[in-house]
Amino acid sequence: MTGTDTGVGKTVVTAALAAGVIARGETVAVYKPTQAGLDDGRGDVDVVRELAGVTTAVEGIRLAHPMAPVAAARRAGTTLPELAEHVARVADLAADHDHVLVEGAGGLLVELDGHGRTLADLAAALSAPAVVVCRSGLGTLNHTALTTEALTRRGIALAGLVIGSWPAAPSEVERSNRAELDRSPAGLLGALPEGAGRLDPARFRAEVQLRCP
């Protein structure tokens, strides 16, 4: 799970996909390599656990400051896990679950460790397809194309696109963007309604649905 930027809705999309997997009777774990920044002491895995009803949702490391992982670790005076550690954690989760969803921090090329390795490197090491979460507004076509091109150049399969927040009253630009994204080779898995992450968990699971890749 990656996005065209930070704050595009990756966590809520992860929750929606996890809920969809659970609804079809399969098991799923969620792994967040690096959590940087907390909301009232809660991280993204806490949100996913609550919204989707996921039993297993874990982090590689939790950092207090809402910064890029390398900067947040430096400020905390700690060391980020190595890429191999993330790969091993995902493998352990995969041994006990039908699916593992890995949610990145920020965008695709944000560094995850002290050696310049990124979520793209993790996806490549896992041979995992990527879901790209994008915005609805002006600029999203370029940002999405840049992210998907980076995936393609690294040989990472693209499972699909998701608009992370779709307004109740979309503008002409947003409607046009959605049509263009749906016509892209990756195609749209869906668009989450604006404010979906604030729904009651039972309502979220009943109403917020995506086409699971």
User: What is the CB neighbour count within 10 angstroms for residue 94?
Assistant: 15
Q: How far apart are CA 31 and CA 152, in angstroms?
A: 23
| E strand intervals along the chain | 2-3, 28-32, 35-36, 56-59, 62-63, 99-102, 130-134, 158-166, 188-193
CA atoms lying within 13 Å on the CB side of residue 111: 16
Among 32, 49, 97, 135, which one carries the catalytic annotation? Answer: 32
- Give the amino acid at 203: R
Q: Is 10 a catalytic residue?
A: no
**DSSP label at 168?**
S
Known catalytic residues? 32
